[in-house]
Structure 1
Amino acid sequence: MAAGTLTWCRFKDEASQLLRHSERIKDGWEWTEVEVDQAGGSFLVKKDVVRPTSERVCVKNCVPLDDTDVLDVEGSMEEADINTVQCEVKETQYYRYQYHVLYSTSYCVPVLYFIASRPDGSLASLDEVWSSVPASFQSRLQDDRWTFLTQQEHPVLGCPMFQLHPCHTATMMQPLMQETQDEEMGSYLVSWLSTVGPVVGLNLPLSYAHIGHVT
Structure 2
Amino acid sequence: MDYDSCNTDLHLGEKTFQLSCHNFIQHSKAIGDGWVWESIEATNEGYMKKVLLKMKNAFGYTIPEQQKIVNEKTYRQEFEVQDTMDLEEIDISSIDLSGREMIRFEYHVVYSSSYQVPVLYFRACDIDGRPLTLEEIWQSVQENYKERLLEGPWETITQQEHPLLGQPFFILHPCRTHELMTPILKGAREEKQSVNYITAWLSMMGPVLGLNLPISYTTATSAQQLD
TM-score bin (small chain)? 0.7 to 0.9
Identity of aligned residues (%): 37
The 1-side partners of 2:152 and 2:58 are apart by: 25
Structure 2 match to 1:46: 50
User: After the TM superposition, which residues 10-159 of structure 1 pair with which residues of structure 2 at under 5 Å, given as runs?
Assistant: 10-35=16-41, 37-38=43-44, 41-47=45-51, 49-53=52-56, 55-56=58-59, 93-144=101-152, 148-159=156-167
Aligned to 1:194: 203
Looking at structure 1, the residues matched to 137 and 57 of structure 2 have their Cα atoms a distance apart, in angstroms, of: 10
CA distance in 2, matches of 1:199, 1:56: 18
Determine whether 1:205 maps to 2:214: yes
Q: Counterpart amino acid of 1:162?
A: F
Partner Cα distance (1:188, 1:109) in 2:
9
Is 1:175 aligned with 2:166?
no
Gaps of 5+ in 1: 58-90
Answer whether contact 2:115 2:174 (CA < 8 A) is retained.
Answer: yes
RMSD (Å) for aligned C-alpha atoms: 2.5
**What are the ranges of 5 or more consecutive residues in structure 2 without an aligned counterpart?**
1-6, 61-98
Q: For the structure 1 residues 36 and 30, does the alpha-carbon distance in structure 2 shift closer, same or farther, using more than 3 Å as the test?
A: farther
Instruction: Decide whether the 8 Å contact of 1:56 with 1:92 is kept in 2.
Output: no
Give the Cα–Cα distance (whole angstroms) in 2 for the partners of residues 168 and 115 of structure 1: 22
Query: Cα distance, 1:56 vs. partner?
Result: 3.7
What is the alpha-carbon distance in structure 2 between the residues aligned to residue 151 and residue 8 of structure 1? 23
Q: Summarize deviations over 1:163-205 as a string: whole Å, max 9, x none.
A: 0111110001111111101687111110000100111111111
Q: 2:145 is paired with a residue of what secondary structure?
A: helix
**How many equivalent pairs are there?**
179
Aligned to 1:63: none
With over 3 angstroms needed to count, the CA separation of the structure-2 counterparts of 1:30 and 1:10, relative to structure 1, is: same
Write 1 or 2 for the structure with the bigger share of strand: 1
Q: Distance in 2 between matches of 1:147 and 1:213?
A: 30
Q: TM-score, normalised by structure 1?
A: 0.75
2:59 and 2:100 map into 1 onto residues whose CA distance is 6
